[in-house]
Structure 1
Amino acid sequence: MERNKERNKITNTELSNEVPEKVGSKVFSYMIYFFCGLGGLLFGYDTGVISGALLFIKRDLGLDPTLEGFVVSSVMFGAILGSVATSPLSDKFGRKKLIIILGLIFTVSSIGTAWPPNVSVMIVFRILLGIAVGGASGLIPMYLAELAPAAKRGIITAYNGIMNATGMFLAYVVNYLLAPSGNWHVMLGIAVIPSGLLLLGMLFMPESPKWLTQNHKPNKARKVLLMTYDSVEEVDKEMFVMESLAKKNEKGKFSPLFTKWARPIVVTGILVAVFQQLTGANTIFYYAPSVLSDAGLGDSAAIAGTIGVGIVNLVMTIVGSYFIDRWGRKKLLLLGSTGMATALVILGLSELIPGIPPMVILVTMCFFMVSYSATWGMVAWVVLAEIFPLRVRGIAMGVCTFCLWTSCAIIALVFPIAANAFGPAIIFLFFAVLCVLSYFFVRTKLPETKGKTLEEIELDLRFEKNFNKQQMVK
């Protein structure tokens, strides 16, 4: 017996000397985050660049109001399609493969929209671009969340939001610099550079360890975790829980979304996605120049003011990412709802009360962006990437991003009509009421996920630990 124990000890020592395990270098982790972040940058750039380019596209392609509406909204409708198609496919074929395909679509559609022979071709490529935007908006935060250690998952997933804000800011700057020449081809075509880097870089990135475990490849999953985690002990803990959950019988179909324990969190995710759009942020992004110009600031100053809004958006997204793992998701979202509601009330009253200086409106818009960018603009994507069970994570994320982009498209379509019928003041006050509703939703329904592994979150939700009243009101 003693001899056998000694033999086993020697054998185990030999094996451990043969294949010593150690965590990977931080440089490789940073490379993963950088290349994934390019998807977020493209999301922001392609969303923001059309606002400036459209002025010159209308002139060169002779767009009437109907065609102008198709050019702008085609990306949103493509995003709806992309959000529906991409996430279920990522459950079947893997996150990495789908991101590579999205990088290819980004590259092709960027060229097609920048140098189209006619407006019909441009709209087709804008829809294709929207498929990539909608797919990347949900898939990349999910991929980052599945690679990140629990203690750092908030800031790593929020990095996608930082790159999104960076892309939007770059779009405003490019529009401003190229406005004198009116070269909308270059405005749109610059997106080829980050899309090409995303496509090439992802070829060398690892697959999601969660997906690998789910598809019976635990050894490969372990190797990936060793690349991104800080210690072997953390990897051991993560692998144990992942393999335990992978033994469940769910097969990534829609039916598990409607089980008794999963249904509340799926509904919560949908409401998080929809409330992110119902805060009124897109009205600020898309219509800030018009509002500022109508207030008497002047066209040139209004465009410069838009760049200011973009700077605030970027800086506060970075600030929010710093606090997300310190303060938690709920606290940031509650602060954001309060700040946005306050700003929208001031904007609404400024439209009703004559004589308010334009700079007051600009400062209020910046305050709104401070409240949105550090909270809902970035935190919502982190929450959506965290809260869903492994087996249905891709499908659930697809459902939520579908609801998000549908809400976005409806608001973009209805806002100009409603503003013309009721006036901007009523619209701003209406969004303020929705921000108040979002506050009570977060306070009473949203579980806190700070500092927990994705598997711990799933186990808590299965046993309803995060849905008791005491947890909700913390």
Structure 2
Amino acid sequence: MAAPTSRTAYAGPRESVPARSAKRFIVGIAAIAALGGALFGYDTGVVSGALPFMESHFGLTSLGEGIITSALLIGAAFGSLAGGRMSDALGRRASLLWAGAVFIGGAVAVALAPTVPFMAVARFVLGLAVGSASVITPLYLSEIAPPHIRGRLVSFNSLMIVSGQLLAYLVNAVLAHWEAWRWMLGLAALPAVALFVGLFFLPDTPRWYISKDRPEDAAAVLRRTLPAEDVGDELARIAHARGLEAEARRGAWQELRTAWVRRLLLVGIGLAVVQQITGVNAVIYFAPKILATTGLGTNASITATIAVGAVSVLATAVGMSLIDRVGRRPLLIGGLAGMAISLALLGASFQLPPSTGVSVLVLGLMVLYMAFMQATLNTGVWLLLAEMFPLRVRGLAMGAAVFVMWLVNFAVALAFPVLLDAVGAGVTFWLFGVMCVLSLLFCKRYAPETKGLALEELEDALRTAARGN
């Protein structure tokens, strides 16, 4: 499938941006909805600091550690699939409310868990919320944002994910002095409550309202996000896309059997796999273990993990500023090239004898790799998955792609320590570098460009491009 080219979404003058009140409304929506991303980041990052204390408290074996760590990832895989379907049936806002409630209950259950089986089940339930939020939050933001700021608004969710991870690392470092691992886990309930309460003040998206034959509600939301003169055109675009999708009157699962939609779904799944097989979660989950192989001490390794988290936040902010100016495809391709080079150098650095200098070199290359990853691939893939599917199957298709993403995440997290022991860190990172090169070729061939297009215009362009191949 050839990628459609971008064109300007609005022909009017630049003054036709939303008024100040509309901007405040959009910023408020982003701040509340993206708490789902922050919870995603916090809950995936906090376990690294809690595990050492849980190990002594419960007498965990290595298998027990693996079960507790991976339970959330398996829950997230199924949560992402359910979240996509649920967001189509109940609405984006109502589904986020459900996720917020599960976040609250899951965080409390994990913090109070009396046994390992209880902890594993609680982590699985918490993963359901993490997976649901990973689908619904970018979906909600992409559908409520005006086209000219959609990239930045959806990418704000990526910023909140890495900010949540950084917050987890900082909380771990502070509470580790008191071995307060239950507090590490339980503090996630606070932003979950803020998300749940805040959502009562937000509307659903115009596109979901139109899909449920509620045009008055859609128009009311659009009047709060667009200038009055643009509301009619935007409603017409959404209605046009809705009309095309309703022609056959088939269910969403049947719609996925349509050739051009199925091709888009395969591309989306491919992008989800690309994000995971290029090594990011190996660094996030195992940074201290990686640095320990160079001779770095435990305390220094924990400090280095905080540095990786801080750079991830800064790099994501850079990616947000570039995504709507540079475009999605150039960002993906350039970032994968930088990641491949960083991983090649990182693999070579492990061929040197352990020393303080080598530890600093490895840390620097890990930071460089994460900077490329978070500024480009992480930002771009989440945005494309929220943009590229047609309205009738958007939640379901994105849920399927993110389901695969979480399964690959689980597989990489499970395989990385085995690879590390079997072939060493150098060869392992070279393998990730090869994955970056293959991923670059995939993105160059299949990744669509969505910059500047309204979602309905994008749908028409992708339909045409897919059918032309």
User: The TM-score by the shorter chain falls in which range?
Assistant: over 0.9
**How far is the alpha carbon of 1:23 from its aligned partner?**
9.0
**Contact kept in structure 2, 1:91 and 1:252, CA below 8 Å:** no
The AA in structure 2 aligned to 1:278 is I
In structure 2, what is the equivalent of residue 330 of structure 1? Answer: 329
1:77 to 63, 74, 78: 74
Q: Is 2:391 the partner of 1:390?
A: yes
**How far is the alpha carbon of 1:27 from its aligned partner?**
2.2
Secondary structure of 2:252's aligned partner = coil
Deviation track 1:263-301 (CA, whole Å, cap 9, x = no partner) reads 221111010111000110111111111121221222111
After the TM superposition, which residues 55-66 of structure 1 pair with which residues of structure 2 at under 5 Å, given as runs? 55-66=52-63
**How far is the alpha carbon of 1:22 from its aligned partner?**
8.9
**How far is the alpha carbon of 1:353 from its aligned partner?**
3.3
The AA in structure 1 aligned to 2:70 is S
Measure the CA separation in 1 of the matches of 2:116 and 2:151.
41
**How far is the alpha carbon of 1:114 from its aligned partner?**
0.8
2:171 to 164, 171, 174: 174
In structure 2, what is the equivalent of residue 223 of structure 1? Answer: 220
**Contact kept in structure 2, 1:141 and 1:160, CA below 8 Å:** yes
In structure 2, what is the equivalent of residue 46 of structure 1? Answer: 43
**How far is the alpha carbon of 1:434 from its aligned partner?**
0.6
**How far is the alpha carbon of 1:466 from its aligned partner?**
9.9
**Contact kept in structure 1, 2:71 and 2:127, CA below 8 Å:** yes
Percent of aligned positions that are identical: 40
In structure 1, what is the equivalent of residue 380 of structure 2? Answer: 379
Secondary structure of 1:370's aligned partner = helix
The AA in structure 2 aligned to 1:242 is I
Q: Is 2:450 the partner of 1:449?
A: yes
In structure 2, what is the equivalent of residue 16 of structure 1? Answer: none
Structure 1 residues 115 and 167 mapped into 2: Cα distance closer, same or farther (>3 Å)?
A: same
Secondary structure of 2:177's aligned partner = coil
Deviation track 1:9-65 (CA, whole Å, cap 9, x = no partner) reads xxxxxxxxxxxx999533222211111010000000000000011111111121112
After the TM superposition, which residues 116-155 of structure 1 pair with which residues of structure 2 at under 5 Å, given as runs? 116-155=113-152
Secondary structure of 2:179's aligned partner = coil
Deviation track 1:376-422 (CA, whole Å, cap 9, x = no partner) reads 11211000000000111011011101110010011111111122122
**Contact kept in structure 2, 1:86 and 1:398, CA below 8 Å:** yes
Secondary structure of 2:465's aligned partner = coil
Measure the CA separation in 2 of the matches of 1:361 and 1:264.
40
In structure 1, what is the equivalent of residue 275 of structure 2? Answer: 276
**Contact kept in structure 2, 1:23 and 1:227, CA below 8 Å:** no
The AA in structure 2 aligned to 1:65 is S
Measure the CA separation in 1 of the matches of 2:404 and 2:313.
25
Structure 1 residues 465 and 275 mapped into 2: Cα distance closer, same or farther (>3 Å)?
A: closer
**Contact kept in structure 1, 2:335 and 2:377, CA below 8 Å:** yes
In structure 1, what is the equivalent of residue 310 of structure 2? Answer: 311
In structure 2, what is the equivalent of residue 296 of structure 1? Answer: 295
The AA in structure 2 aligned to 1:245 is A
Structure 2 length-normalised TM: 0.93
Measure the CA separation in 1 of the matches of 2:20 and 2:367.
43
Secondary structure of 1:205's aligned partner = coil
Deviation track 1:419-463 (CA, whole Å, cap 9, x = no partner) reads 212222221111100100111111111111000010011001122
Measure the CA separation in 2 of the matches of 1:182 and 1:252.
52
In structure 1, what is the equivalent of residue 9 of structure 2? Answer: none
Q: Which runs of 5+ in 1 are unaligned?
A: 1-20, 469-474
**Contact kept in structure 1, 2:96 and 2:137, CA below 8 Å:** yes
**Contact kept in structure 2, 1:313 and 1:373, CA below 8 Å:** yes
Q: Is 2:401 the partner of 1:400?
A: yes
Structure 1 residues 424 and 285 mapped into 2: Cα distance closer, same or farther (>3 Å)?
A: same
After the TM superposition, which residues 407-422 of structure 1 pair with which residues of structure 2 at under 5 Å, given as runs? 407-422=408-423
**Contact kept in structure 1, 2:111 and 2:185, CA below 8 Å:** yes
**Contact kept in structure 1, 2:81 and 2:400, CA below 8 Å:** yes
In structure 2, what is the equivalent of residue 364 of structure 1? Answer: 365
In structure 1, what is the equivalent of residue 8 of structure 2? Answer: none
In structure 1, what is the equivalent of residue 4 of structure 2? Answer: none
Measure the CA separation in 2 of the matches of 1:467 and 1:164.
37
Q: Which runs of 5+ in 2 are unaligned?
A: 1-17
Higher Rg of the two aligned structures: 1
In structure 2, what is the equivalent of residue 354 of structure 1? Answer: 353
**How far is the alpha carbon of 1:258 from its aligned partner?**
2.3
Deviation track 1:117-173 (CA, whole Å, cap 9, x = no partner) reads 222211111000000001110111011000000000000000000110110000000
Measure the CA separation in 2 of the matches of 1:252 and 1:169.
41
Secondary structure of 1:140's aligned partner = helix
Structure 1 residues 295 and 225 mapped into 2: Cα distance closer, same or farther (>3 Å)?
A: same
In structure 2, what is the equivalent of residue 471 of structure 1? Answer: none
The number of aligned residues is 447
Measure the CA separation in 2 of the matches of 1:366 and 1:42.
23
Structure 1 residues 306 and 23 mapped into 2: Cα distance closer, same or farther (>3 Å)?
A: closer
In structure 2, what is the equivalent of residue 86 of structure 1? Answer: 83
Deviation track 1:334-378 (CA, whole Å, cap 9, x = no partner) reads 111011111111111112233562111111001001100101112
Secondary structure of 1:375's aligned partner = helix
Q: Is 2:242 the partner of 1:246?
A: yes
Measure the CA separation in 2 of the matches of 1:25 and 1:138.
25
**How far is the alpha carbon of 1:210 from its aligned partner?**
0.6
Structure 1 residues 303 and 108 mapped into 2: Cα distance closer, same or farther (>3 Å)?
A: same
Measure the CA separation in 2 of the matches of 1:261 and 1:274.
20
Secondary structure of 2:350's aligned partner = helix
In structure 2, what is the equivalent of residue 107 of structure 1? Answer: 104
Say which is worse superposed, 99-108 or 330-339, in terms of deviation: 330-339
Q: Is 2:156 the partner of 1:159?
A: yes
Measure the CA separation in 2 of the matches of 1:38 and 1:466.
38
Deviation track 1:63-82 (CA, whole Å, cap 9, x = no partner) reads 11221111000000001110
